[in-house]
Structure 1
Amino acid sequence: MLTGPSAIRPGLPEEKDVLLSPVLRTEEFFRFLNDAVQAGGKVLSGGVRVELDNTESPTGPFLSPTLLRIDGLKGARKIECVQKETFFPLLPLIVIEPEEDDESLGRVIEFINSNEYGLRNSFWTSSEKTIERVVRQVNNGGLLKINDSHIGFVPWLGTHGGTGLTGGPFGELNYPLLRTTHLQGVSIGHGIQPRKAVFEYVASKEDVK
């Protein structure tokens, strides 16, 4: 079985295990990408247009899944692909700086809470102490998943929106009786692998179709 970005391939809608669809406005994607690179980001994979057979092409209608490395939380929010919702196969991976005072978690939580969209958060850790602190202090979002992907909650997003620019704090259904209450769904998973959490959910949705 293929793993990593190479397993996410373009294809026709009726083909099984196809996740990539064509992108009409690729200039916006490359604007995000170039902005990150100019800010010091490094392209670890992808960053090119590809054809249906996954070969690189300057006119390809698909975008190769792109993984960016961004070093340090400081200044990361100023990079557009970190600050905004891109809706492209573009994932910024922020590698935090070593901390002399061992307060890396505190700075990560502060960074999460600074997201102006505040929609969903997925946090992975094996430490029970860390889980307790994250659940207690992460307050930005309509959904917090611990050791699981937020994708599995998609059918219920109507009742759990965001706290910022996305969804609204009362969910997209905007229940009148809940307008004075901040809702945040919290789920804690155990023994779940990140890849399975995402791709097995996608496969199960295909089976339903």
Structure 2
Amino acid sequence: MELNHYINGNWYTSVNGQERNITNPANGKIIAHTVDGTTDDVKTAIRVARSAFDQGDWAELCSTERSKLLIEVAIRIEKHLDTIAELEMLDNGKPLHEAKIDVQDAADCFRYYASIIRTATGQTYNTAPALETVVVREPVGVCGLIVPWNFPLLMSVWKIAAALAAGNTIVLKPSEITPITAVKLFEIFDDIGLPDGVVNLVMGDGKIVGNELAVSHDIDMISFTGGTDTGRHIMKAATGNLKKVSLELGGKSPNIIFADTDIDMAVDYALYGIYYGAGQICSAASRILVEDSIYGAFVERFVIRANNITVGAGDNPNTEMGPLVSEEHMQKVLAYIQTGKEEGARIACGGNRLTNMELENGYFVEPTAFIDVKQHMRIVQEEIFGPVVTIQKFTNESEAIEFANNTKYGLAGSVFTKDYNKAWRVIKKIKAGITWINTYHENYYEAPWGGYKESGIGRSLSESGLDEFSELKQININLQPDMIDWFRE
């Protein structure tokens, strides 16, 4: 499988002709070759996107017509759902049933934004006699979109659907590790006949492709999902022309379990909160805080359930948790596990790479849980982004809130209790943008997604996501123009 750039309605190889291998994380085998983008490749894509935006063919297209095209994208995604899901599974490693959910969600996201641009309205104010003030939404311009490898298709669509709905042109940089389904999406764009230059795809290393998008004065907005350190670099690079910046970054999200909850239900959600996606989710519940009176019982039941999770390749229908995305990332996660041991935490389950039988060439790590942890430990403070969780006890409500908020992150958090007054008190004090009570990972396009503190700037999804890719313009109309006589003749 040969994967190329998509620029100005055509497929291109890179200027330097270099390629990189794409591997299946379940077995380490090469499944595709992709071009490796250069600065010149990115500049070409930006120039094309700039020209397409300035010509106005897309931005000035009426919302009804833009909506129809976005719906057609959704229809095509669903038509090829099984094929796209299989490619996502091979590229990312996630179980096939998870990949199918992601692909359907991608189609639904296009439908959502297709619907709200049919109903989105401006505002009108009667500000003074014979004066009308109108506020309208306009596209930002050329948007550079940089997406991660954990949800290759879905994270691309979260940005692309909103950006296109608002009338922008785009240059997308998928992860250099997982670019396959982005290429399939652009094949759909090509098939339905979006105007040339509206959507552009450049693949390659973030230090080259992503950096050029961030520094370019012809990019009006940069939207990035990924690690906090990279987000900080992008934000600094974007200051050259003070472009609009949207960042969804890391997380170290607390899952607070009070003693009055149903323990079995809490354990069930706690497993889902951390081990879904092999923990490679920015909002994963990677810190479990348990009230001391049920701590022992919770840990015992959690460990039993965690040890029963079936780890394997995504095409095995029995697989419940797949591999990590790459050997490099697996080594990073294993290094954190070693750090936890050295810090004095105790492994309650897991802690090892899985190499038995058919897993020996893949990047599999056991579902891992640390107990006897302290708040200052790196495994408590830093994002591991793998199937590793810390289980920490607390004595009262105020201590639970203190522990929950005592990291630099603020993406997500949850509370489990039968006392809804307590749940509301606690959840209101959690410094996080996405929170749950007696559930986890629920997410709907109608609600905004984003974080506090070092977990990011701005919001995805909902009308807030459309606002991110829009500018608001104030227009004042004098209905009875006459001399103002501000200065004497």
Normalised-by-shorter TM-score class: 0.5 to 0.7
Unaligned stretches of 5+ residues in structure 1: 99-103, 178-209
Aligned-residue offset at 1:51: 2.6
- Other-structure match for 2:439: 148
- 2:327 is aligned, of 2, 21, 24, to 24
Task: Assess if the C-alpha contact under 8 Å between 2:460 and 2:468 holds in 1.
Answer: no
Unaligned stretches of 5+ residues in structure 2: 1-303, 470-489
- Count of residues in Structure 1 that have an aligned counterpart in Structure 2: 162
2-structure distance, mates of 1:31, 1:11: 21
- Other-structure match for 1:11: 312
Aligned-residue offset at 1:169: 4.8
1-structure distance, mates of 2:370, 2:413: 19
Secondary structure (helix, strand or coil) at the match of 2:347 reads strand
Aligned-residue offset at 1:17: 4.4
- Asked if 1:120 is matched to 2:386, the reply is no
Task: Assess if the C-alpha contact under 8 Å between 1:35 and 1:79 holds in 2.
Answer: no
1-structure distance, mates of 2:450, 2:367: 27
The CA deviation string for residues 42-98 of structure 1, in whole angstroms up to 9 with x for no partner, is 10000011136588x7x7631111011034xxx41x2222112211110111123x5
Alignment of 1:174-189 (within 5 A): 175=467
Aligned-residue offset at 1:29: 1.8
Task: Assess if the C-alpha contact under 8 Å between 1:36 and 1:80 holds in 2.
Answer: yes
Secondary structure (helix, strand or coil) at the match of 1:12 reads coil
More strand by share: 2
- Other-structure match for 1:159: 448
Aligned-residue offset at 1:170: 3.5
Distance verdict in 2 for CA 1:88–1:176, change over 3 Å: closer
Give 2:366's aligned amino acid. Answer: S
Instruction: Pick 1 or 2: higher relative contact order, CA cutoff 8 A, min separation 6.
Output: 2
- Asked if 1:70 is matched to 2:372, the reply is yes
2-structure distance, mates of 1:130, 1:169: 29
2-structure distance, mates of 1:129, 1:159: 24
Alignment of 1:79-90 (within 5 A): 79-90=377-388
Task: Assess if the C-alpha contact under 8 Å between 1:10 and 1:54 holds in 2.
Answer: no
Q: Which has the larger radius of gyration?
A: 2
Give 2:385's aligned amino acid. Answer: F
The CA deviation string for residues 77-128 of structure 1, in whole angstroms up to 9 with x for no partner, is x2222112211110111123x5xxxxx2102112222332200101111223
- 2:346 is aligned, of 34, 42, 62, to 42
Q: TM-score, normalised by structure 1?
A: 0.65
Percent identical = 20
Give 1:41's aligned amino acid. Answer: A
- Asked if 1:110 is matched to 2:408, the reply is no
Distance verdict in 2 for CA 1:112–1:175, change over 3 Å: farther
Give 2:314's aligned amino acid. Answer: P
2-structure distance, mates of 1:53, 1:47: 18
Distance verdict in 2 for CA 1:157–1:110, change over 3 Å: farther
1-structure distance, mates of 2:369, 2:446: 27
Distance verdict in 2 for CA 1:174–1:168, change over 3 Å: farther
Q: What is the Cα-based RMSD across aligned positions, in Å?
A: 3.1
